[in-house]
Amino acid sequence: MIRLDGVTKHFGEVAAVDSASLCVARGEIVALLGPSGCGKTTLLRLIAGFERPDGGSVTVDGRLVASPAAWIAPEARRVGMVFQDYALFPHLTVAGNVGFGLPRRTRAGRVPELLAIVGLDGLERRYPHELSGGQQQRVALARALAPSPELVLLDEPWSNVDPFLRESLRAEVAEIIRPLGVTVLLVTHDREEAFTLADRIALMRDGSVVQEGTAEELYFAPATRWAAEFVGAANVLSGRIVAGRV
């Protein structure tokens, strides 16, 4: 469904993304988990088409969308995105925001359908400032889902929300997304978020994907000491293995 092969992106001398490779299957929810500054948002922006890679390739549903030699514009990639601050248009109503990227002829039918999916029927004439944070998030999600994308990218959607609300917003998004079978790539630095929402987690460090697996695999079988300590509290003890015993 999505395939990243050796994707690299430099900003000046700094390699923000360094030979990152990842596959995401159709309908899968994958979290890109890593510390701040590890390149996960840049990788998301490369997939969305907001940045051009210096090396490697991005393939979405079998179609090469980005490489140093190939380029498909963001609007033609069938990728939806929910931004950190939702990025709703303040001067547009809920219906206007959701239908923004849709062809005029399909808006009238598609917008009510999406508002029903995200549980906002009846609020189509409201403006973003008249909505709660949770409702704004659902508008942003509906807008991302509007053109029936192959893939939805979530860029730290709950990072500015208090922990209590974060939990309920996360559950809301999962309830909306799961039945649709949409492929989702979530960027987060929050281990709990990745563990509770994702089918699989890609752990990033210094621009590269250093380990992939389920939450259990990452937690109980980390590849390195860094991975072990990033995904949870750890006692790391030194020892020697002799004849299969420590």
Partner 1 sequence: MLVRPELLELEPSPAGAGEVVAREFRGHDVFYRVLLDGVELVSQRPSTEVVDLGSRVAIRVHDGRVPVLD
Among 221, 230, 242, 243, the residue binding partner 1 under the rule CB under 8 A is 221
Among 13, 239, 242, 243, the residue binding partner 1 under the rule CB under 8 A is 239
Q: Quick check: 220 binds partner 1 (CB under 8 A)?
A: yes
CA 181 – CA 177 distance, rounded (Å): 7
Q: Quick check: 148 binds partner 1 (CB under 8 A)?
A: no
Q: Which residues does residue 32 pair with via DSSP β-bridges, in sequence order?
A: 187, 202
Picking from 124, 118, 233, the residue whose alpha carbon sits closest to that of residue 176 is: 118
Q: How far is the CB of 46 from partner 1 (least distance, A)?
A: 31
Q: Quick check: 225 binds partner 1 (CB under 8 A)?
A: yes
Stretch that binds partner 1, among 20-28, 149-157, 200-208, 236-244 (CB under 8 A): 236-244
Q: How far is the CB of 182 from partner 1 (least distance, A)?
A: 33
Q: How far is the CB of 196 from partner 1 (least distance, A)?
A: 16
Q: How far is the CB of 121 from partner 1 (least distance, A)?
A: 38
Cβ proximity of 61 and 25 under 8 Å: no
Stretch that binds partner 1, among 33-41, 50-58, 74-82, 227-235 (CB under 8 A): 227-235
Among 73, 241, 242, 243, the residue binding partner 1 under the rule CB under 8 A is 241
CA 105 – CA 210 distance, rounded (Å): 45
Q: Which residues does residue 3 pair with via DSSP β-bridges, in sequence order?
A: 23, 59
Q: How far is the CB of 224 from partner 1 (least distance, A)?
A: 7
CA 32 – CA 209 distance, rounded (Å): 8
Q: Quick check: 36 binds partner 1 (CB under 8 A)?
A: no
Cβ proximity of 84 and 157 under 8 Å: yes
Measured CA to CA in angstroms, residue 117 lies from 40, 92, 130, 145, 170 at distances of 29, 20, 20, 10, 16
Q: Quick check: 90 binds partner 1 (CB under 8 A)?
A: no
Cβ proximity of 104 and 95 under 8 Å: no
Q: How far is the CB of 48 from partner 1 (least distance, A)?
A: 35
- CB closer to partner 1, 132 vs 238: 238
Burial 179-190 (b: 16+ CB within 10 A, else e): eeebbbbbbbbb
Cβ proximity of 66 and 72 under 8 Å: yes
Residues that bind partner 1 (CB under 8 A): 219-222, 224-225, 228, 232-239, 241, 246
